[in-house]
Structure 1
Amino acid sequence: MMDKVGTTLVVFLALGIWTQTRADTLPIDELPIDREVLFSRDVAPVLKTNCVACHNARNAEGGVNLESAEQMKSSDVEDLLVPGKPDTSRLFLLASHADEPVMPPDDNDVSASNLNAMELALLRRWIESGAVVDQASIEATDHAWQPLPSALQTVYGSAMTADGRLSAISFGNRIQMFGAKSGQSVGALEIEADNQTKPAHEDFVQDLWIDSTGHHVVSAGFRNVKFWELVPFESALLPQFSLDDVLAIAINGCGDQLAVLSRRGELSVGEIGTDRWKWMKSFDIPLELVSGDQSMVQLSVGVAGHQAAIAWGNTIRIVRIDGKEPQAIDADDAITSMIWRGQDQLATADTTGHVLLWKRDGNEWKKTKFAVFDQAVLGLYSATQDPSRLVAIDVSGRVANWNETTGAFDKAGKLPSPAVSASLSPTGTTLWMTSKTGTLGHYRIADQKYVEVAKSDPIAEAQLARDNWETLVGEKLVTMHDKDVKQAEANVIAETKSIETFAKEIESKTKQRDEKQASIVEAKRSAEAAAAKLAEAKSAEQTSNLQRIELAESVKQLGAKVSELEKQLEKLKQEQTDAKKQLAAIPDAKKLADAIKAATEAATKADQVANKADSEFESAVAALRLAEATKVRGESRLKDLNAEQQRHKQVLEQIKADHETRKSNEAASKLLRDQSLAADQTLAVMSAGTRIVTRGARSDGGTTDTWSLWSSAGDWLAAMPGMPAGGKLIAAGDNCLIIEGADGNTHALNSSDRLWQHRKAIGTSTGKSPFADRVLCVDINPTGNVLATGGGDPSRSGELMLWKVSDGSLIRKIENSHSDTVFCVRFSPDGKTLATGGADRMIKLWDVETGKLIKAFEGHTHHVTAIAWNVNLRQLASGSADATVKVWDIGSGQSTQTISGLKSEVTGLVFVGREDRIGVVGGDGYFRVYRTDNGARETNSKVPGGYLYALDSNRDGSQFIVGGADGVAVIVDKAGKQLLEYSGKAD
């Protein structure tokens, strides 16, 4: 609930200010008298859904914690819960809206709802009954899961390989794998336990991740994460034999019986999966075969391994498990192919284009001869599920199909080029083949249509695509860092010019200071001269005043003596005259005062000039110091800018060097791809035709160790893991491959029941788990060794953990990562940084190595539901339930673009390849593409799926996989055009 609500609540509760019962009190149901109410079953879930989000131990708004009855009873808030008295329990009064403030408030931001009539009735009955807490508390308990209804097919998770060839999609609690070429399901991720097949998870699958090879898938569910691995074959035991001594080797159609003919004429037959031979027989063989070419000998073993046929030239030997001697039968011409069609039924083909059907009658073998072609038969192929189906191919590529109804071979068209290796699907409808040019394809016999599947080795194609992508990304990084270097150079130039400007300014201000200093000296001289004149004038005035006083007194005295001293009158008059003359010679007092005034004014003016000069000098000195300090700072900045420029240059040089390496790798990959062939002479159709195995080849005749797995529809699934080095396919059946390794050893590989098998799990949905609730999001770093998981207890805490992919051990739990559920986690393209978003509206960046917070972005007003990185490592996009997408500058942490106007919450984001564009899905069922520089919308396409949750894309942004609540997922292109649709419903 909002802070203001909690504040209001505590004020009302603390002061006991309550209004009268409201007229709009919520309706409350009446319960039967005998209805027992349990806290754990009836009350705790209601409080957890609508109240605990704001009133818990960590965030006790208003000082109220509603996580347990004990905490409610011991609350500091008076009368919060009064056992036996619902009408005085403020918990019930506020929840029923009988008093203010009503709870939860209408404007709450955690999606809490008013309690309905039944919930209020249960709460009231529980309080009336004494607010007793039953033994089953709200603590986590083991879950006894019931099967999720098959109708619940919501697609919460989807993931696509980097090349887009495979997609993993969750439908409810099930996971299906799909091939993008055919749009068909190529496998399911299921659990085998107690002889039962169970869905991938008990509860909804929340998120999915798949690696670029398609070998590994990670799925997230309720309190657990599961790891799945591509395991198409498993090692099986074989009876011991030496390949150096082998003249011929064969495996039956089912792939469970092995026959080996030694150069000593010893035939050994055994069951694959055991280390002992079932039976052995010896007989003489022509000397020319002992050291001859193995291709001169044909060997075929029966379905149950009770009989075998050996042919050389036109001679056939039938060897049986019983004690009878081998039977010799002769064909008319040299045999090129031989196959068992059933018990005591053999088909052979020869160099003249004939096919002979042999059938044992007692101790005799009777033959029926058919002229099928006019040249040698390359091979005969039968359908393991329908042995009556038989197909023949001649050396020119013509096809003939056995018609059981007419008892004849019908012409079935011609292959576009002669086959080198071929195998018939178990149903007999499709013929898989490789040609002399190394192409792989299949031929549909019914409509006589050939479909080319691949010309070059798909593993080489995939490597070239990866290297090409790295080169393209490298070009973008080089361009960006080149801009950085140019900007750094521009900064250095600008700072250098600024320093030069300040240097000139310092020179000018130094001159001004010196001039002002000279003015001060002159002004002081003038002031001192004026002061001297003033002092001289004042001294003259003082002397004159003294003389005047003395002479005036003297005149007065002399005048007084005149009357008394008449005798001396003449003399005194003369003295008086002289004194008057002297008095007249003394300056006038007014003139002296004027002179003093003028001198004072001159001195004052001189002082003012001096003071002004002092002030101007001080200003000049301050300006000079400022200019010098600015210059010093500029020089420091210039030093830093030079260092930054050097760093950018070094980074650019390294990136350019890396880019050259990438280009070199791409060139090597292109050469390898151009020289590669889709398949050599090896080909196996297995697992009831659902898996096709090929080995890559080179046009120059070289060999490779690349083995590929294909679906029956021609989807390349993956490079086959764990194949023997230097392996060579020497025999194959529906369930087994026999491979000769470079070490000379022979390996038997049985096909597994499921392509992707459950390997390990972190946590469990039925017991103790490191996860508090649903794991809502997963991601694995680019090196594939660190898993990040996000989730948490809703409305209480965010849960963010890092795990070792190798063994599922915990690397680090980042405490207090978010204050609410973590909805999205994404590693940066270089794997050094982890971005997370949560219900607390925050986006955070974490250092993967240390787990420390780097920075946080804030700006959304609702849950952050999706995050995506730009390959440039400088831009991050976030989507929110506030129906906006924000684009962030990683360096500054500022939002550079806000895309608004969406009609529903954003649920999925992905950058479009290496472009500055973002793909967006949300609750309104639209797939959109926006530019991240100006926010312009370029795609606005309504797609199937309803409320959309899932979004992923291939690395170049040409295909996007989108899924939603309707249980449908679609592949669309950047323009929103639908390419494929996937459904989890059974056909």
Structure 2
Amino acid sequence: MIRPTTKTLVVMLAFGFQSLAKADGLPIDELPQDHEVIFSRDVAPVLKKNCVACHNASNEEGGVNLESVAKMKSSDVDDVLVPGKPEASLLFLLASHTDDPVMPPQDNDVSASAMNPVELALLRRWIQSGAVVDQGASDPIKRSWQPLPSMLQTVYGSAMTADGRLSAVGFGNQIRLFGAKSGQSIETLGTGADDQRKPAHDDFVQDLFLDPSGRHLVSAGYRNVKFWEMSPFESTSIPAIDADDVLATAMNTSGSHLAVLSRRGKLSVAEVGKDRWLWMKSFGVPDEFGSDDPPQVHVAVGADGHQAAIGWGNTIRIVRIDSENSAVADATDRITSMLWRGPDQLMTADAVGNVDFWKRDGSAWTKTAHKVSDQSVLGIYAATPQTGPVVAIDVSGKVAIWNETSSVFDDAGKLPAPALSASLTPTGDKLWITTASGSLGQYSIADKSMVEVAELDPVAEARWASDNWQTLVSETLVATHDKEVKQVEKDVAAEEKNLETSAKEIETKTKLRDEKTAGAVEAQKAAQAAAAKLAEAKSAQQTGNQKRDEIAESVKQLAAKVSDLETQLAKAKQEHADAVKQLAGIADAKTLEAAVKAAADAVTKADQAKTTKDSELSNAAAALQSAEGIKSRGEKRLKDLTALRQRQQEALAGAKAEQEKRNSDEAASKTLLDQSRATGQTFAVMAAGTRILTQAASSDGQTHGPWSLWSGAGDWLAELPDMPSGGQLVASGDRCVLVRDASGKTHALASSPRLMQLRKTIGSSNGPSPFADRVLCVDVDPSGNLLASGGGEPSRSGELMIWNANDGSLVRKISKPHADTVLCVRFSPDGKTLATGAADQMVKLWDVESGKLIKTLEGHTHHVTSIAWNINRRQLATGSADASVKIWSVDSGQATRTISGFKTDVTGLVFVGRDDRIGVACGDSHFRIYRTDNGSRETNAQVVGGYLYAIDSNRDGSRFVVGGAGGVASLIDKSGKQQVQYSPSNE
């Protein structure tokens, strides 16, 4: 613990200095004496809201941690919490503003606010009561979820299939599925039975992911992630049917009953869901029924399954459950279609253009004939079994609608091409049509106009579109690899040229060094010779001086003797003359000194020459060493560049091989597409006309293709891969279809009341959960096998987890990925790298396989709200609350461009197809497109939705779905023009 003398300073450091002046206290309510304060219910949420953001395990400001009572008591600051004494507890004193510095500071960065009078009263009572922690404090808080108010429909998440045909939008806590052809929602996702239907989530839907097939959806909410999938057709019980003995099969309109007519004239009726026949009747039939070429037989089953009509030729047999004998009636001509309009009313059409209304009178049936056409009637169709419009179509495509008032068929136009089969929608205003060419269309009776919904198999079309896109992506990658190879080849050539220059420079500098070495040697020799002469001169000077001194002394002594020895004068004079003569032969001191000086000057000059030569040699050697170093580094760069060139050439070769494969796949899928047809003759209108079931066919009509499901507006919903392979639709009703598989077995397949169902949930909004708070972002990798989720508590380390998208199991949790909440996650186009952005202003790249951090991208000055990958994998775009978009080089980790000038937060990003363009959603209700290569703006459009939060696009960037705080979403094009508006009220 810190000494009391330092307490005041540490408290100011821990809680944030605000003012040296004493603050006024905040008002505090008085609680009833018997009011019990519970920590987990009354105190912990207040601390979490206003205090824990700055005082937690990852951010202990000044050593104070307020995450738990234990952490408060063990803080580095004395008296943070003194149980029983609120007046001595700094937690209460600073929160109530009765001591300085007041908490939280007014200008804080986490939007924390001062406690209100009730919160302060609860805090004070809790401390007075001993600061007891209840047992449930660590358990998830049970919440009684209430419906969100109708005005809270903010769109935080939107998603679109790769082809743009379907969009999912989160409105508040609801999720709705839309098509591109209508603003009417196809499905509202939810849980529970219809009478207790609950929204998709309890709290706001934070993010959505819709897979390319449109069959799987992932949604993120409060402390949970949900996996939704398209409901399959469920196999249901029916009696066994002998395919070899069946002459005709039919279902009633609702799909609750089926009837089977055998070649022997036995009619069997069953209730779907039961494996026994409800009733059976036999009657006589012509022998030709058992032949290899039986006549065409029509069967119609009544709404309750208690009666059936059988027609062949112009003969009608009406069989009832309560009658032993069948009734017989004769039509004017060959029967082409039959329809029940009630228990005792039947409609039939014939080959001469009549529609007959039959009515039972006792045991007899009477008819009223109505002329529709001069040609054979293809079929008669009703919106509902007993009431509503009735439409007839002849073989030429003429459409007529029954007029109840005038009791005639009124002209309703003509189809562009004759129909093979048709069905009237429950609303009675549109007809679904198939033609001889295999196309599927929708005819508007009011407008007398036909819209072709599909000409070719949508599954084959989707496969070709995907293959075509992959081919285009491969072209982009090949172009990118080719550009990189060309650049590295230029770099290699430049480095080789540099090395050639370096080699020549080394050769020149080596020659220069050798020349300077020779000069230095000669200078050394000259210096040595000069030094020798100097030494010789100095020696002669020393010898001459010594000799002169000796003779001079001798002359002096002899002169003295001359004066003393007169007698020896002659001899002395002679000796004196000889000595003088000898003395004259010796050089004088000045001459010797001059000789020494000349020799010394010669040595100095030689030394200077030597120093100059040595310096020149040293410089030449250094220059040579530098040149050799440059060459060595150049050789290393060349080696690295050569290796890089090899890798990039291999990558280019791989990309080209992949492109060839993609081209081959595309060509094959294009061939299959060209040979396909949207549907064969039969199809089913189900779920009160909201779903259409078709089966594709080959152009020759011999092969049955994939099954598809459509919306009532004509949006292709998805392929149905669970339907019997090679099967054929033999009968259908509103809730069930009969399909005969390749082996001849007949299956009854019931459609689910809901198009999409909840498959799995990770976490819980009330119970235990691996998520600490809202899951703010999700993404699924290109393989569809991995799910990344991001979120976490505000001002904490954030949460980043990778899950198995198939079974929901945790693959990896990355510890402390960011210093704050993770706001966006995106897998790279190859699925190898995961990019994350957070409230800590950082962007991080993670290796998906190992979970290791690859690099951190720094540059934003506020929350990173969105991430988008360029399809080339080399470029990453990030948007931020700092009102900017940054374009990053993934290899270098550096921002190559910053696009600024936005009026408010950038909330969403998507790259526009394969282009170097980025689609941007902002808080100012604008959708914009910018070029990432030069930063220029190409689109600037205000769209409905208010403060925009959500954006997604199809793969080629031609469609975008955006939404925001206004509770609406829009389907827009590149120019920002609205094509369709989606809202939560569009049922």
TM over 0.5: yes
The residue number in structure 1 matching 2:472 is: 472
Once the two structures are overlaid, the 10-residue window that deviates more, 156-165 or 965-974, is 965-974
* Aligned-partner Cα distance in 1 for 2:302–2:13: 88
Confirm or deny that 1:320 pairs with 2:311.
Answer: no
2: CA distance between counterparts of 1:589 and 1:73? Answer: 101
User: Residues 425 and 13 of structure 1: is their aligned pair in 2 closer, same or farther, counting only changes over 3 Å?
Assistant: closer
193-202 or 346-355, larger mean C-alpha shift? 193-202
Matched, 1:153 2:153: yes
Q: Which residues of 2 match residues 323-472 of structure 1 at below 5 A?
A: 324-387=324-387, 389-472=389-472
C-alpha contact 1:388 1:404 (8 A) present in aligned 2: no
Residue identity opposite 2:937 in structure 1:
R
Q: Distance in 2 between matches of 1:576 and 1:151?
A: 143
How far the C-alpha of 1:266 sits from its partner, in A, is 3.0
Task: Tell me how far 1:567 sits from its aligned partner.
Answer: 6.4
What is the TM-score with the length of structure 1 in the denominator? 0.94
Measured after TM superposition, the shift of residue 31 of structure 1 is: 5.2
Instruction: State the partner residue of 1:544.
Output: 544
Q: Once the 2 structures are TM-superposed, how far is the Cα of residue 978 of structure 1 from its aligned partner?
A: 2.0
Distance 1:954 1:761 in 2: 27
What is the deviation of 1:313? 2.1
Query: Judging changes above 3 Å, is the alpha-carbon distance between structure 1 residues 204 and 866 closer, same or farther for their aligned structure 2 residues?
Result: same
1:70-109 alignment runs, 5 A limit: 70-109=70-109
CA distance in 1, matches of 2:470, 2:956: 11
Separation (CA, whole Å) in 1 of partners of 2:8 and 2:180: 58
1:411 CA drift (Å):
2.5
Q: What secondary structure does 2:244 align onto?
A: helix
Q: Which residue of 1 aligns with 2:859?
A: 859
| Alignment partners' CA distance in 1, 2:121 and 2:360 | 85
Specify whether residues 7 and 486 from structure 1 end up closer, same or farther in structure 2 by C-alpha distance, changes over 3 A only: farther
Aligned residue runs from structure 1 range 136-151, under 5 A: 136-137=136-137, 139-151=139-151
Match of 1:504 in 2: 504
Aligned equivalents of 1:476, 1:857: Cα separation in 2: 25
Aligned partners of 1:97 and 1:30: how far apart in 2? Answer: 17
Are positions 1:814 and 2:814 aligned together?
yes
Q: Does 1:912 align with 2:878?
A: no
CA deviations on 1:236-272 (whole Å, 9 max, x unpaired) are 2221123233222222221122222223333322122
Identity %: 66
Residues 98-124 of structure 1: per-residue CA shift (max 9 Å, x gap): 332221123321121222344334434
2:123 aligned partner:
123
Aligned length: 982
2:222 is aligned to 222
Sort the Cα spacing of 1:101 and 1:659 in 2 relative to 1 into closer, same or farther, 3 A: same
Partner of 2:534: 534
> How far apart, in 2, do the equivalents of 1:497 and 1:571 lie?
96
For residues 212 and 18 of structure 1, the distance between their equivalents in structure 2, rounded to whole angstroms, comes to 54
Are residue 616 (structure 1) and residue 616 (structure 2) matched? yes
Contact 1:433 1:683 in 2 (8 A): no
Deviation for aligned residue 1:204: 1.5
Question: In the alignment, which residue of structure 1 is the partner of 2:581?
Answer: 581
| Counterpart-to-counterpart distance in 1, 2:402 and 2:639 | 86
Q: What is the CA distance between 1:208 and its match in structure 2?
A: 0.8
Question: 1:848 deviation in Å?
Answer: 0.6
Does residue 196 of structure 2 align to residue 196 of structure 1?
yes
Provide, for residues 779-805 of structure 1, a one-character-per-residue CA deviation record: whole Å limited to 9, x for no partner. Answer: 100110001111112222311111111
Once the two structures are superposed, the pairs formed by residues 9-48 of structure 1 within 5 Å of their partners are 10-12=10-12, 22=22, 24-29=24-29, 37-48=37-48
In 2, are the aligned partners of 1:268 and 1:280 still within 8 Å (CA)? yes
Cα distance in 1, alignment partners of residues 157 and 294 from structure 2:
53
Alignment-mate amino acid for residue 984 of structure 2: G
Residues 1:824 and 2:813 are matched in the alignment: no
Tell me how far apart the structure 1 counterparts of residues 687 and 979 of structure 2 sit (CA, whole Å). 29
- In structure 2, relative to structure 1, the CA distance for the partners of 1:97 and 1:935 (3 Å cut) is farther
Per-residue deviation at 1:200?
0.8
The answer to whether the 8 Å contact 1:168/1:210 transfers is: yes
Q: Deviations over 1:350-369 (max 9, x none)?
A: 22222222223222222222
SS at match of 1:137: helix
Contact 2:7 2:77 in 1 (8 A): no
Contact 1:163/1:212 (CA < 8 Å) preserved in 2?
Answer: yes
**Structure 2 equivalent of residue 643 of structure 1:** 643
Alpha-carbon contact 1:235-1:749 (below 8 Å) kept: yes
Given that 2:14 and 2:63 are in contact with CA atoms closer than 8 Å, whether structure 1 keeps it comes out as: no
Instruction: Measure the CA separation in 1 of the matches of 2:702 and 2:330.
Output: 39
1:146–1:824: structure 2 CA closer, same or farther, 3 Å change rule?
A: same
Tell me the residue number matched to 2:298: 298
* 1:764–1:924 Cα change, 3 Å: same
CA distance in 2, matches of 1:861, 1:521: 66
Letter in 2 for 1:412: A
Given that 2:484 and 2:648 are in contact with CA atoms closer than 8 Å, whether structure 1 keeps it comes out as yes
| Cα shift readout 1:571-614 (whole Å, capped 9, x = no counterpart) | 55444434433332222221111111110111122122223322
Q: How many angstroms apart in 2 are the aligned matches of 1:767 and 1:378?
A: 60
Q: Kindly tell me: are residues 626 and 98 of structure 1, through their superposed partners in 2, closer, same or farther at Cα, counting changes over 3 Å?
A: same
**Structure 2 gaps, min length 5:** 1-5
Q: Which amino acid aligns with 2:145?
A: W
Q: How many angstroms apart in 2 are the aligned matches of 1:862 and 1:620?
A: 56
In structure 2, what is the equivalent of residue 249 of structure 1?
A: 249
CA distance in 2, matches of 1:692, 1:546: 135
Post-superposition offset of 1:35? 5.5
Query: In structure 1, how many angstroms separate the alpha carbons of the residues matched to 2:7 and 2:503?
Result: 61
Query: 1:950: which partner in 2?
Result: 950
Distance 2:116 2:32 in 1: 17
The alpha-carbon deviation at position 79 of structure 1 amounts to 3.1
- SS of the residue corresponding to residue 106 of structure 2 reads coil
- Alpha carbons of 1:14 and 1:105: their partners in 2 closer, same or farther (altered >3 Å)? closer
Aligned to 1:270: 270
Are the structure 2 counterparts of residues 852 and 20 from structure 1 closer, same or farther at C-alpha, using a change threshold of 3 Å?
closer
Q: Which amino acid aligns with 2:225?
A: V
Distance 1:496 1:568 in 2: 100
CA–CA distance in structure 2, aligned partners of residues 522 and 682 of structure 1: 109
User: Partner of 1:365: helix, strand, or coil?
Assistant: strand
Report the Cα distance in structure 2 between the residues aligned to 1:140 and 1:178, rounded to whole angstroms: 35
Q: For 1:146 and 1:23, how far apart are their aligned partners in 2?
A: 40
Distance verdict in 2 for CA 1:37–1:416, change over 3 Å:
same
Q: Is the 8 A contact 2:265 2:284 kept in 1?
A: yes
Secondary structure of 2:689's partner? coil
Decide whether the 8 Å contact of 1:26 with 1:117 is kept in 2: yes
What are the ranges of 5 or more consecutive residues in structure 1 without an aligned counterpart?
1-5
Letter in 1 for 2:534: L
Report Cα offsets for 1:729-777 as digits up to 9, x if no partner: 1211111121222233222211110111111111122211111111111
Q: CA deviation at 1:149?
A: 3.2
Secondary structure, counterpart of 2:197 in structure 1: strand
User: Quick one: distance in 1 between partners of 2:925 and 2:123?
Assistant: 39
How far has the Cα of 1:215 moved from its partner? 0.4
Cα distance, 1:434 vs. partner? Answer: 0.9
Q: Secondary structure at 1:820's aligned position in 2?
A: coil
One-letter amino acid of the structure 2 residue matched with residue 667 of structure 1: A
TM-fit CA distance, 1:136: 4.6
Q: 1:677 to 1:739 in 2, by over 3 A?
A: same
Query: Offset at 1:923?
Result: 2.9
Distance 1:768 1:293 in 2: 67
- Over 3 Å counting, the alpha-carbon distance change for 1:475 and 1:582 in structure 2 is same
* Residue of structure 1 in register with 2:206 after alignment: 206
Amino acid at match of 1:95: A
CA–CA distance in 1 between the matches of 2:285 and 2:903? 82
Contact kept in structure 2, 1:440 and 1:452, CA below 8 Å:
yes
Judged with a 3 Å threshold, the aligned counterparts in structure 2 of structure 1 residues 19 and 650 are, in CA distance, closer, same or farther, namely: closer
| Aligned counterparts of 1:496 and 1:719: Cα–Cα separation in 2 | 57
> Per-residue deviation at 1:12?
3.7
Per-residue CA distance 1:362-394 (angstroms, 9 max, x = gap): 222222222321121222223334456432211
Q: Is the 8 A contact 2:15 2:62 kept in 1?
A: no
Q: Distance in 2 between matches of 1:33 and 1:9?
A: 37
Whole-Å separation in 1 of the counterparts to 2:194 and 2:347? 43
Equivalent AA in structure 2 for residue 690 of structure 1: T
1:740: which partner in 2?
A: 740
Q: TM-score, normalised by structure 2?
A: 0.94
Q: State the distance in 2 between where 1:493 and 1:403 align.
A: 85
SS of aligned partner of 1:402: strand
